[in-house]
Amino acid sequence: MTTRIFFAALLGLVFLGVCNGATSKWDFMLFEQQWAPGVCLTEHGKTCVIPHEASDGFTIHGSWPSSVGQEGPFYCNESYPFSPGEIQDLLQVMQSYWPSLYGGDTDFWSHEWTKHGTCVELPQLDTEHEFFQFVVNLRKHYDLKQSLEKAKIVPGSAQYSVEDMAQAVKSDIGFTPLLMCAKPSQRAEHPLDGQVLIGAGLCVGRDLQLTECSSEMNQSCVTGVPVLYPPHRS
């Protein structure tokens, strides 16, 4: 199961169809940041590699137009394919904040634009460049590693409670994150029990401001089970 499918399944979302050119309808964007060391520690299939250009903080997984009770819309404008040239000026920051962990940054960004970015359909985010710039700015403004550090929650061998991690983020940015965890891979260098932090989601309203995620949305971190927040390997 890929990380993308895993995220969607644990949020309790149900795929209902694609947009395919029709005007998209959505209630919020799910802005997800991933914790790369956790993603790679829990990857059960594909080879996961953290690029050396990547930030040592959380990196962007995506920002997806969504509605409670369904996943999508998807693929809303086939006439506007991804063009790397449109974001050439963002290349350095994209490689830092939005790298692929499976190789092929351009393919990853193309997927995020074609499947999700084309469905935003707001005047403020009407172009590929505007979409990627906006999402990168979200990551710059909402630095979750920094939020956790303020509560003395840092990557390492220590484990933390789901409640403490969520409260640390809420105390800093004012909104509760959807914390994402997974079980470690049996192929991990040091197999362990419990759960590993792989990311966190924040909800963005149609006014492009953060909003509380619906109580109907489920986070995949299980309360009562300690969370490992693994460090980057030196």
Residues catalogued as catalytic:
61, 112, 116
Dist CA 211 CA 227 (whole Å): 25
Q: Please list, residue by residue across 70-92, b when 16 or more beta carbons sit within 10 angstroms of its beta carbon and e when fewer do.
A: ebbbbbbbeeeebeeeebeebee
N-term to C-term CA, the chain: 28
The owner of tokens 């092929």 is 104
Dist CA 199 CA 165 (whole Å): 12
Dist CA 67 CA 25 (whole Å): 8
Query: Helix H segments across the chain?
Result: 3-10, 36-42, 91-97, 105-115, 128-141, 144-150, 162-173
